[in-house]
Amino acid sequence: KYKARLTIMSRNNIWAHLAIALVLVLVAAFAGQIGRWRRNWTPVKQSSSSPETSRDSDESEESSSDDRRDDHKAEVLVRFRAGVTQDAIEKIAQRLNDEIEDRIEAIDGLDVIEDENGKDAESVVAQYRALPEVDYAEANSEIKLDHDDSGRKHVHADDELFFRQWGLFNSGQNGGRAGADISAMRAWAVTTGSDKTVVAVLDSGVDYTHPDLANNIWTRPPIIKAYQDDDLTSDGPIDDVHGFNLVEDNGDPMDDNGHGTHCAGIIGAEGGNGLGVAGVNWNVKIMPLKFMDENGSGTTKDAIEAINYVIDRKRAGVNVRIISASWGSTIKSRALEDVIRKAGEEGILFVAAAGNASSDNDRAPHYPASYDLGNVISVAAVNRNDQLASFSNYGAKSVQVAAPGEEILSTWLEHDFRELKGTSMATPFVSGVAALILSQNPNLPVSDLRAKLLNSVDPIPSLKGKVSSGGRINAAKAVGAD
């Protein structure tokens, strides 16, 4: 019938419809242009906002996040006491009409339980905590990235980008203080890193095709079997060529947010190639672990699974000695603490962002940076004048060191480069210096690696009483150049 009506339309009607269509096209095009103008003139957020408060202030984002959570069943992390068999655990879940979604291999007795009764996470946690067989139970809570979107700048690759990297070499450019940097150039006279050192970046993934990163991306050696987790990857081994994607449970850790790519570039953008920026390491291998989605949100469970992956690869023979974690939450997870402790037992240093709430972590902890573990380093941010950044968390006891974290230029999506600020940016500076140390001494125990980093800082007056070392990281001292 519709085709018949078209065939009997008069010529006048045809011209009328064509005119209407033309108007609609012009309106759509104009609306698109307005959209582009609006995107180019987005108001800048307050720099003191933490990721949590920034999210809370945006009602549309928060409501959509709530809607997404409502579509999912409650998940809890339950660690059963020693001696409780898997058969007994399955019977408990069956009795409560719940499903065991996964087991965390690195931690004995740790299971991911999915509620099948329509209860909220708090009720499910209380239910399991009441059982004598349970050591602890907690919600699979949300985790956020530790960076601030305000102050982003777009920089074209044909600029002299290295001399915008004040964190590596501060000559006093753009109002900075000469020498307020990590002394990278003096460190590079001793070592520019090693492709035998692997740094795991737990984040939103990494653009492993970026020209300034591609040569420094970890590739699974053929002698090491593809990753297999019978619960997580029930269809068989994951072809983890460059890392792992916990968001989609596959072997493609491509970044769709940008944050992880930025952090990776700070650690290991290829140096001396005449392109873009230089990382703290010119030579290193970045292992991308994607557990954050395109909105910069992840879960405790996926963070644990990502760390479990690193431990598995380390046990398989990969020389992965550092985890760089530029994210956090005010919620303490014993399960996350357990798996980070396990990583330490495997000789893996865990470098974590102190947070961006301008608060004292001694009083209001920020996790995982606030875990009191021998393999954890908590990192605050300083600006180009060696002042504690206005947004940065601190803690005389719970935060160990500071690193550059304002106006930090690094790699970005679509083979681009951008400036960001946050303790997220400070963290990979410390991870990068740790990798430089390991390039000299690959078998250095994690306790000695941590001590070497903290004992080689530059004392900074503004950091006295703010971080336990009282200083900002110094790469040259760390590798013995000074």
Catalytic annotation present for 259: yes
Angle between helices 423-440 and 446-454 (to 10 degrees): 120
Q: Which residues contact 256 (CB under 8 A, 6 or more apart)?
A: 204, 205, 293, 294, 413
User: What is the phi/psi pair of residue 178, to 5°?
Assistant: -55, 135
Which of 284, 285, 294 has the alpha carbon at shortest distance from 259?
294
C-alpha distances out from residue 368 to 164, 198, 265, 325, Å? 31, 21, 22, 8
**270's tokens:** 């290829």
DSSP 46: P
Cα–Cα distance measured from residue 241 to residue 164, given in angstroms and rounded to the nearest whole number: 33
Catalytic annotation present for 159: no
Catalytic residue among 141, 392, 424, 456: 424
Cα–Cα distance measured from residue 221 to residue 97, given in angstroms and rounded to the nearest whole number: 43
User: Across-strand partners of 381?
Assistant: 403
Q: Is 290 exposed, middle or buried (0-12, 13-18, 19+ CB in 10 A)?
A: buried
Catalytic residue among 147, 210, 242, 259: 259
User: Across-strand partners of 471?
Assistant: 459
Catalytic annotation present for 424: yes
Catalytic residue among 203, 229, 240, 312: 203
Active site positions, annotated: 203, 259, 424
